[in-house]
A and B are shown apart, each in its own frame.
Chain A
Amino acid sequence: CARAPMYDFQEELVIRPLHSGDIYASFQFRTVWDADFMGDQKVSHYRLFPKSLGQVITKFSVRELHISFTQGYWRTMQWGQPYLPSPPGAELWVWFQDTVTDVDGTWKELTNVLSGIFCASLNFIDSTNTVQPSASFKPLGIGNVTDHSFLRYATLPREIVCTENLTPWKKLLPCGSKAGLSVLLKSEKLFHSTFHSQAVHVRPVCQDPQCRTTSMELRQTLNVVFDLHTSGQGKREWSLFKMFSRTLTEACPLASSSKVYVDVTDNPQVRPFELSPATPLLTQAVVLGDRRTYSVYDLTQQASFGSSRSLNMLLRWKAADGEMLRPLLHSERYVAGYGLQAGEIHTLIYNHHPYRAFPVLLLSAVPWYLRLYIHTLTVSSKGKDNRPSYIHYQPSKDRERPHLLEMLLQLPPNSVTEVTVEFERALLKWTEYTPDPNHGFYVGSSVISALVPSVVAMDTNSTLDRPLFSSFFPCKEEASYFMRVYTEPLLVNLPTPDFSMPYNVICLTCTVVAVGYGSLYNLLTRTFQVDEPSPGLAKRIANVIRRFRGVPLL
């Protein structure tokens, strides 16, 4: 007999004060639904899972879907690593199930439908900005897929995120924006921030430890960084009300768990900030290779709200912060060269680990109008040549597909690796330019995926009492963690023709061709003759009369 599908909804907010004085808030809303999308049974009863997304997943046979809309660029060196990285603009990557026969056609339809659901211009995703990565973007859910022909990845770096994108995103939540953590999501404060990113991740997950049945997990995440000076008025004191102009009054009734975590990791002696209202709950988690301590507010407990029936956390700083843990992997990208004919793309990848080298996968998708010359690709670390062990390069086809360059690079410890490639700028047809051609053309962010060995969680000196047979290999939990780093998008100018001139150009060029035609026609059809001057008008009339009379002509 069929079991009624089980749902589970969890919501969570993590507040992490950043070293630079800014504050980072990350919302995650997770719906798990154990309907079997990959099976034959038709799914028709939706409760917590949004119907629009469910229909999209069944109709287009989507195994995994990851879409993000980001405004702003994540400053890794000042803010550390985000919990969920995302590139500026819109990014969409999808794993289709292996029952799909025409992946490109399905991709095109999917992008158009998602464009309608999220009110974004995802219909600009076409074959000229879609790539098929061969090694990056492995599935994040369960799945043993190795055939990358079912994967599609596209970015729109020019996409702007605004309230029109937030509203349909909020509609996908079970409680909407009426209860629980989503009441904090008000657009006038959210978009008045340095960094704003909202994402939807759908993937299949295991239901039980033996993974006999699978369920579909939908995670909606929203990351926002509020700036000390623009939102904080320069004072290093943050509260929920200051950040979101709202306070929390209740948990979402449909949620099985609704928690707020505040990152209170600090050196044991002195805590730099004071958190009120105090909470006895503390939890520790290893995230991004670092063991962090969090104060937890459980919104399903009525006690959290206190006597005023509203929860407004206040963080007040008394002393300066300690040292920020330097992110181990960090990258930059820029365009070098001058003029509108050629240029070079430089990607710098920094490995700040003191003694470990590790490999990274670099994925670059460059539009076709910047013609890359792969023979000019140089990779150098610490001044010496560093050959990548795996290169997958798919050259572009004009107006059909972009360049795809994927490389596996080994980064030496404590070094900077520079990847350089030259390109030539193409002149496009006058209809292919955007209405503001002198703004330039965007090149989407490069993606660097790596398993980074953690500095903090590794422990080679055994001060703990452990049996020798378990402590030979230096390995603790979370000894290495997966990280994805996005570089800056590039803005490149292309040479432009004069847009006011199509008719003039056609006329002038055809004139030149006609000059050639005319001169040759003259010389081909005429012959040389001695120039006899023609008689005057009087003589000609007289000749005509004489001809009639039959008299010899003049």
Chain B
Amino acid sequence: MAAPLALLLIVAVTIRAALFRTSLANLISERVEVVSPLNAWKRVVEGLALLDLDISPYSGDVFHETPMVIYLFHFLMDYAEITFMGAGVKFSSLHLVSQFRKQKFALEADRIPMDCLELIRSPTEMYYIPLKVAMFYLLNPFTIVSCVAKCTCGLNNAVIALFILSTMRGSALLSAIFLALATYQSIYPLTLCVPALLYLLQRLYIPVNVRRSSFWFYTLQYLFMFLGSLLVLICLSFFLLGSWDFLPAVYGFILSVPDLTPNIGLFWYFFAEMFDHFRLFFLCVFQINVFFYTLPLSIKLKEHPVFLIFMQIALIAIFKSYPTVGDLSLYMAFLPVWNHLYRFLRNIFLVSCVLLACSALFPVLWHLWIYAGSANSNFYYAITLLFSVAQILLVSDYFYAFLRREHHLTNGLYLKKKDGSEATLVLK
């Protein structure tokens, strides 16, 4: 296990180092699919330059990172490339995911009808999952371009990975701290609070029942740790720069979407063409849309918090205000964990073809609009729509497959109708 992982790490670092040295690095760091106004490296450098000129980086509208990032890069400016590569490598330390699967297997082994044994994964299969996750993340072209562009969403991904790792290990304090750090960077990981809580409750065998006092006790403990760390981080940021300027510049910017720079998300063109009268209304609708699926999904998936984490990360990556391909690569890295669902996936071929085609068309249509002048913004917008639809289909397909497997695990794999013939399973 260690040898293939080490080899993988060496290959990944080599590819990134090689790309850093070429002129492609500058080209990639300008691409709007890879960087957004929130996490572009050019803006981090601009913020540091403004700080050097004794101007608050938040007095203009160029810099939207949190103060901790300024100070981190103030010291690590020359080692930026290594920082980003290290963040990617850290991610691969997610081998603890396998530990979860073993635990779940032990829990359920006695509940399953006999014919479902083929649905259960064998420990040998699960042995290679961490390596596959690491491979899917490190060798994903989206991750590579995101790292070469020095987009700070690589750092966000590392923090979320650490959060998942600490949740899997059962350490509530570390999990709360990393979640607070992830929420502090961009607001959306707030929704991951619920699956983390569900996992930790499950691990401690506390039933999720609103009438039980032990449930409330643990929930309040966790929330207290989370909110406390968040408060500490915000106050630390205040003391770093001496003013509350960063609150509207970071969180106000994420929530009110003033900058309409094109990206792979849905917000930019929608708000570029929005009637002024309805702008606030649709802004609220779109932002609520990201947070809104938490409660229903957690009710449905309360026994399966790890899949809930995956769903939440995917929904954040699709519906957030300034998505980039780095956010995509985060949830795509988790797909090998669910590769036992492959037999139940219905649209995977279509989805992968559309995703590949869109990834190829994004730079082409951008060039045609911005440089050649022969297309207009509608072309790029159309590919954005298609990309989002493909991602939504991917996520809902995995959800369908997961639910179907659960149904089979409880009711048997080969189902028969009342008259004994083979049954088809539908959603009703």
Contact = CB atoms under 8 A, between A and B. Distances in A.
Contact of B427 (A391, A496, A515, A522): A522
B286 interface: yes
A445 to B, nearest CB: 22
Given A397-B60, A426-B259, A520-B396, A531 B378 contact: no
Given A375-B45, A393-B55, A502-B275, A529 B425 contact: yes
B238 interface: no
A528 B273 contact: no
A397 B61 contact: yes
B272 A396 contact: no
12 contacts: A374-B49, A391-B53, A496-B377, A497-B269, A512-B389, A512-B392, A516-B319, A523-B396, A524-B296, A529-B426, A530-B423, A531-B423
A468 interface: no
Given A340-B373, A527-B428, 11 more contacts: A395-B60, A398-B259, A428-B272, A505-B272, A519-B396, A520-B297, A520-B399, A522-B427, A528-B403, A528-B427, A529-B426
A201 to B, nearest CB: 33
Interface of A: 338-342, 368, 371, 373-375, 391, 393-399, 403, 426-431, 495-498, 501-502, 505-506, 508-509, 512-513, 515-517, 519-520, 522-524, 526-532
B354 interface: no
A529 B428 contact: yes
A498 B400 contact: no
A429 B319 contact: no
A427 B385 contact: no
B71 interface: no
B123 to A, nearest CB: 28
Contacts of B49: 374-375
List 5 A-B pairs, minimum CB-CB distance, nearest first: A395-B60, A375-B49, A519-B396, A526-B427, A502-B273
B208 interface: no
Nearest to B406: A528
B427 A427 contact: no
Interface string B392-428: 1100100110011001000000010110000111111
Contacts of A531: 417, 423-426
Contacts, number: 166
Interface stretch (B97-105, B161-169, B187-195, B260-268): B260-268
A501 B378 contact: yes
A371 B68 CA distance: 24
B186 interface: no
A374 B376 contact: no
Given A509-B266, A529-B426, A532-B418, A502 B403 contact: no
Nearest to B428: A529
B109 to A, nearest CB: 23
Contact of B297 (A399, A497, A501, A524): A524
B426 A528 contact: yes
Contacts of A371: 61-62
A526 to B, nearest CB: 4
B427 A338 contact: no
A526 B60 CA distance: 50
Contacts of B274: 429, 502, 506
Given A429-B272, A527-B427, A530-B415, A498 B392 contact: no
Contacts of A340: 369-371, 373
B122 interface: no
A392 to B, nearest CB: 9
Nearest to A528: B407
A358 to B, nearest CB: 25
Interface in B10-52: 30, 32, 42, 45-46, 48-50
Interface string B356-383: 0000000000000111010011100100
B216 to A, nearest CB: 25
A441 B274 CA distance: 22
A497 B272 contact: yes
B275 A505 contact: no
A293 B296 CA distance: 90
Contacts of A526: 427-428
B260 A509 contact: no
Nearest to A505: B273
A403 B32 CA distance: 23
A526 B407 CA distance: 12
A523 B403 contact: yes
B422 to A, nearest CB: 10
A236 B168 CA distance: 91
Nearest to B32: A341
A515 B404 contact: no
B365 to A, nearest CB: 13
Contacts of A528: 403-404, 407, 425-428
A430 B377 CA distance: 12
A373 B289 CA distance: 34
B45 A429 contact: no
B252 to A, nearest CB: 12
B399 A523 contact: yes
A498 B377 contact: yes
Contact of B61 (A368, A506, A527): A368
A341 B30 contact: yes
Nearest to A431: B276
B273 A430 contact: yes
A331 to B, nearest CB: 24
Contacts of A495: 262, 369-370, 377
A505 B270 contact: yes
Contacts of A523: 300, 396, 399-400, 403, 427
Contacts of B370: 339-341, 495
Interface in B314-365: 315, 318-319
A520 B370 CA distance: 36
A375 B30 contact: no
- Chain B CB count within 10 A is highest, among A393, A429, A508, A509, for A509
Nearest to B45: A375
